[in-house]
Chain A
Amino acid sequence: MTRPIRKSHKLDNVCYDIRGPVLEHAKRLEDEGHRILKLNIGNPAPFGFEAPEEILQDVMRNLPTAQGYCDSKGLYSARKAIMQECQRKGIPQVGIEDIFIGNGVSELIVMAMQALLNDGDEVLIPAPDYPLWTAAANLSGGHPVHYLCDEANDWAPDIADIRDKITARTRAIVLINPNNPTGGLSARRLVKEILGVARQHGLVVFPTRSTTRSSMTASSMSPPEPWPRTTSWW
């Protein structure tokens, strides 16, 4: 008699459909020899977007001395570079001890949610969202509360909806800018307005950027405007 091994109840409300059942069908079709055009995940390398040679060289040259653990916050030189980037962007009061480097946003989102949320605490997350935020809030015992982005207004966050959904349990507001999945880019004025609401209610703001250092405008591109001071940065 063996006891079945079941997954934990913590996972009951955790959902990440980007790699859901449809992907399993795609794998089956590929195994049967069909060619699938995959437009499902934003993974640049398979489409010929490769890291610049200079960056590859840096990693290669340092590889022999990169075998041990480093400080849990991250390499000093890398954190220094991040600190200087903050200075260049005019983000004040970011010292080297304030900077934590993680294994991408996937790890840092879960870590930040675990550190911040008590059971039942609420996090304001855009709809549509990068769903890891919702999954991580649930996993950490919190409640994701979705505020709407307005499709008729270039998918800008609906600030009235944000205000309406703040309660005594709200701890944080997530901004995804530029947004995944919409590609929407919020104006600096709107971001400042949201930061004002957060300040008024004592909320942490989690700004996430999808993927790139720059953004396109309607006909060409411009570098994104510097973020105003926020509680965390990655």
Chain B
Amino acid sequence: MLASMRLCANVPAQHAIQTGLGGYQSINDLILPGGRLLAQRDVVYDKLNAIPGVSCVKPKGALYAFPRLDPEIYPIHDDAQMVLDLLLQERILLVQGTAFNWPHPDHVRIVTLPWADQLGDAIDRFARASSRATASDPRRWPTTAIPKGRARRAAFPS
């Protein structure tokens, strides 16, 4: 009934399904040794784990890495603000772990789609921001407050 209520799914796109499932379509070239996705995953994994206080489980699928920032070193109380700091200071846009209903503000998600050199640059920026946070007063990271309520509506009329 719910399917009927919206009449049907996008018809042109459905013509991609048969070949998508049955043809010689494969992402093997991307994920075998030498493949682009594998190389990108490896860059992110290696560089993240080289940052003091940051650890990342090696992703085995999908397009993401989900590193942990050790709360002893980075006592982050609001990870959305930490992500905002990264944006404002280093011009990289990540998503905070609590956006994925993770119960502690100690993770971020990084998409591993950009080319390896771009990803390497992004992780370098992430490392720079985190070293600043530890070198000064870690409690100063995050430093930027996200405007809430009326102030936010004024800043970002939707």
Contacts between the two chains (Cβ within 8 Å), count: 272
Q: How far is the CA of A107 from the CA of B22 in the complex (A)?
A: 24
Q: How far is the CA of A72 from the CA of B59 in the complex (A)?
A: 37
Within 8 A of A (CB), among B104-135: 107, 109-111, 113-115, 118-119, 121-122, 125
Binary per-residue interface labels of chain A (193-218) against chain B in the complex, 1 for a CB within 8 Å, 0 otherwise: 00000000000000000111111111
B58 touches A218 (CB 8 A): yes
Check A40/B93 contact, CB under 8 A, given A62-B12, A221-B31, A224-B61.
Answer: yes
Interface: A103 (CB within 8 A) = yes
B64 touches A181 (CB 8 A): yes
A101 touches B14 (CB 8 A): yes
B88: chain A residues within 8 A (beta carbon) = 25, 29
Interface: B154 (CB within 8 A) = no
Interface: B99 (CB within 8 A) = yes
Check A75/B11 contact, CB under 8 A, given A21-B146, A47-B114, A151-B68.
Answer: yes
Interface: A141 (CB within 8 A) = no
Q: How far is the CA of A21 from the CA of B42 in the complex (A)?
A: 30
Q: How far is the CA of A185 from the CA of B102 in the complex (A)?
A: 18
B64 touches A26 (CB 8 A): no
Interface: B92 (CB within 8 A) = yes
A54 touches B18 (CB 8 A): no
Interface size class of A (residues with CB under 8 A): 35 or more
Partner of B97, one of A101, A128, A144: A128
B18: chain A residues within 8 A (beta carbon) = 58, 77-78, 80-81
B57 touches A182 (CB 8 A): yes
Interface: B136 (CB within 8 A) = no
B91 touches A37 (CB 8 A): yes
Q: How far is the CA of A183 from the CA of B146 in the complex (A)?
A: 29
Chain B residue with the shortest CB-CB distance to A17: B99
A1: chain B residues within 8 A (beta carbon) = none
28 residue pairs A–B, Cβ–Cβ below 8 Å: A21-B152, A34-B91, A36-B92, A37-B91, A39-B92, A40-B93, A47-B113, A47-B114, A54-B19, A55-B16, A59-B12, A59-B13, A71-B8, A72-B7, A115-B2, A131-B100, A146-B101, A154-B60, A180-B62, A181-B109, A184-B59, A211-B63, A213-B26, A214-B26, A214-B27, A214-B28, A215-B31, A224-B61
